[in-house]
Chain A
Amino acid sequence: MKNTSYSIETRSIIKTYQSDFGVIQAVDDVSLQVSPGEFVALVGPSGSGKTTMLSILAALLKPTSGSILLDGQDISAMSETERVALRREKIGFTFQANNLLPYLTAVENVELMLRLNNKLDKAGSLRAQELLARLGLGQRLNNLTGQLSGGQQQRVAIARALIHNPSLVLADEPTANLDTKRAYQVVETFAGLIHEQNRAGIMVTHDLRMCEFVDRVLQMRDGKLVAMYNDRKSIMKLVNSRAGD
């Protein structure tokens, strides 16, 4: 049964690893749904399984069991080639660090997603410039990434994650290397664009203060989803408690 009103939906995801110490259950029966235009934070302490869950959602890792539907397509059954194409066409990423190619300028990094999808034309190039300008990088279009600050680099990565109109945008600790002021700016901008462009967004973070800008918070512990905060009041209470870790 498919529910196509969600951009992404997972059903009973389990991921186990074999280690020297026996079988580790990194993700244990996680089901979640994210709708278009919804920005969700996945929080939890180290080892809670949030990064593994993000990798599964990103089609970088296959679950041991369970299914993941992206725009109604079951990605857990896809071949590696299909998953690569899916990542290119339907998913946008920002990572904690090493996001950008250092030998490309800011605008070239953003255009790369359009190139990979064979959609780079004049209009696309203009759109990339406009998106960067909206992110406050209008004067930095032709700067190499080494000439940009950490916050500016993250904003270029956000533009790259959104330029090809993906269904799902994933962010792994996007504020980890930023000071508080920059971190707030980045997440606020990110949330604004996700809402405006009607994308489904999932951010993994250990910094509960960043949850101020999300619509829902999913808390993981020991591989399980242990709590969900979906109203502003409870989210703000969590933000103010800073007790997520």
Chain B
Amino acid sequence: MKQVLGISAYLAVKEIWRNRARFLLVSLVIALITLLVLFIAALGEGLGNGNREYISKLDAQLIAYQAKSDFLISASRLDRDRLASIRRVAGVQDVGMLGTANANIILPGGGEPLKAALLGIEPGHVGEPPIVQGRPLSTKLADEVIIDRSTALRSGLQVGDPLRIRVTQGTRDEFYELRVVGISDGQQYALQPSIFVPFFTWEQVRPKSEAEVNSGNDPVGNVILIKVKDPAQAESVSQRISAQVNNIEIATIAAAIQALPGYSAQQSTLNTQGGFTLFIGLLVIGGFFQIQILQKVAQIGVLKAIGTTNTIVAATFIIQISLVTLIGVAIGGLLSFLFSLTFPPTVPIVFNGTTSAIAIAALLLIGPLGGLVSIRYAVRIEPLKALGLSI
């Protein structure tokens, strides 16, 4: 086996080296395919992340929605009575109301207001993001705000700065001034940077219809975030909550992410694009090596006639294809990294280690896969026919 690999590697490397311009050209094509696949993966990750980041980082296992809301956060309305009811269910450790809305942040230096997700949360309860700078929210009514890293990057706001938001309430634009008390890590929601305010503050400052402005109803949030005592028992706790609290439906975090508006469609579109790009790569590599082999039928015939085994012939091609693919993927990976450094934070491109590793593994696999047909062809070459010795 060692001898087979030794000879195969020798022949493969010699041929690549002595025809380096031709093989480099194929590696560059693979590099471009790599660039495309990695960017599609990064775009998928970036868009997906922008949609789900806050939800996926929640220290909660379940989310309660209003019944028949189809697990759409914006379509769900839940009052505080239900919050209290859920809190009492056995197995529930903590609950937090979440209210979602949009607001325009008036930037200190002027310019176009920054659109952000305005999220109302319960200070000290599940739903409040971990703080990386500053402090958490103090009370349910404080005029305080936590901004996520994305908002901080785009607005330039720091802890202690005043933050002015503009919202539409009824038919009027209202301005509210809050104070930044903390900065969290990235917590984007609905493809927007997020700002977090105490729930009752949120109720005051959120956009409202004319009817809401004039009504004196108790505040309602959108969904209730639930942290269970034992995450392994989340399913049974979910069933207990459904049995004990009326007019709600429960989803796990994973199900809630899939139900985010457009999330599944967006991810499947990008995955399909990535898949097709890989498929094109497969055809390009397969086509190149098939042409290579067609041009080398006589050479392969000579090799076989002088006693080279099919194992060596096949191993030589596999090593060649793998090397060319490896070089292409390495160049593509490097180019992707260099390009990624040039993108501003507003572009939703995130090079996630796992996603990139999966994309790279798939790219490395398409080389040998694409070459399978040509390897099979090479192995079946008859030395007699290749050398023109057959009658």
- Is residue B319 contacting chain A, with contact meaning CB distance below 8 A? no
- The majority secondary structure among interface residues of chain B is helix
Does B10 count as interface, using CB distance less than 8 angstroms? yes
Q: Are A51 and B389 in contact (CB under 8 A)?
A: yes
Question: Smallest Cβ distance from A94 to chain B, in angstroms?
Answer: 10
Query: Interface 1/0s, chain A 75-119, versus B by CB < 8 A?
Result: 000000100111111010101111111111000100011011010
Given contacts A103-B14, A103-B18, contact A96 B388 (CB under 8 A): yes
List the one stretch of A53-61, A211-219, A234-242 in contact with chain B. Answer: A53-61
- Nearest A residue (CB) for B387: A95
Contact at B389–A60, with CB atoms within 8 Å? yes
CA distance A60 to B301 in the complex (A): 11
Report whether A99 and B302 are in contact in the complex, using a CB–CB cutoff of 8 Å: yes
Choose from A26, A84, A99 the contact partner of B307 (Cβ within 8 Å): A84
Contact call B384/A60, Cβ cutoff below 8 A: yes
How many Å from the CB of B39 to the closest CB on chain A?
35
B138 interface hit (Cβ, 8 Å):
no
Q: In the bound complex, what is the Cα–Cα distance between A43 and B104 (angstroms)?
A: 95
Say whether B302 contacts A98, CB under 8 Å. Answer: yes
Using an 8 Å CB-CB cutoff, how does the interface string of A113-132 with B read, 1 for contact, 0 for none?
10110100000000000000
Give the residue name and chain of the A residue nearest to B14 (CB).
A103
In the complex, how many residues of chain B place their beta carbon closer than 8 angstroms to a beta carbon of chain A?
Answer: 29
With A60-B383, A115-B7 known as contacts, the answer to whether A103 contacts B305 (CB < 8 A) is no
Asked whether A54 lies within 8 Å of B389 as measured between CB atoms, the reply is yes
In chain B, positions 271-330 with a C-beta closer than 8 Å to chain A are: 298-299, 301-309, 312
Chain B residue with Cβ nearest A117: B307
Is A108 within 8 A of B14, CB to CB? yes
Residues 18-50 (chain A) with a chain B CB within 8 angstroms: 24, 26, 47
Which residues of B sit under 8 angstroms from A88, Cβ to Cβ?
Answer: 306-308
Q: How far is the CB of B382 from the nearest CB of chain A, in Å?
A: 9
B130 to chain A, nearest CB (A): 59
- Contact yes or no, A116 B308, CB < 8 A: yes
B19 CB-CB contact with A under 8 Å: yes
Give the contacting residue for A93; candidates B7, B14, B15, B306; CB below 8 A.
B306
B residues 1-38 touching A (CB-CB < 8 Å): 3, 6-7, 10-11, 14-15, 17-19
Q: A17-B391, A95-B387, A118-B3 are in contact. Are A58 and B305 (CB under 8 A)?
A: yes
User: Do the beta carbons of B309 and A84 come within 8 Å of each other?
Assistant: yes
Docked complex Cα distance between A84 and B209 (Å): 86
Complex contact A98–B307 (CB within 8 A): no
- CB of B307 within 8 A of CB of A89, answer yes
Tell me, yes or no, whether A9 is within 8 Å of chain B by CB.
no
Distance in angstroms between the alpha carbons of A93 and B6 in the assembled complex: 23
On chain B, the residues within 8 Å of A91 by CB distance are 307
Q: Is the CB of A101 within 8 A of B307?
A: no
From A24, A47, A58, A91, residue with most partner B Cβ within 10 Å: A58
Question: Are the CB atoms of A61 and B384 closer together than 8 Å?
Answer: yes
Contact A98 B387 (CB under 8 A): yes
Selected from A115, A144, A172, the residue in CB contact (under 8 A) with B18 is A144
A98 neighbours in B (Cβ, 8 Å): 298-299, 301-302, 387
Closest 4 CB pairs of A and B: A88-B307, A98-B298, A87-B307, A103-B18
Q: List 5 A-B contacts (CB under 8 A).
A: A51-B389, A87-B306, A91-B307, A100-B302, A103-B18
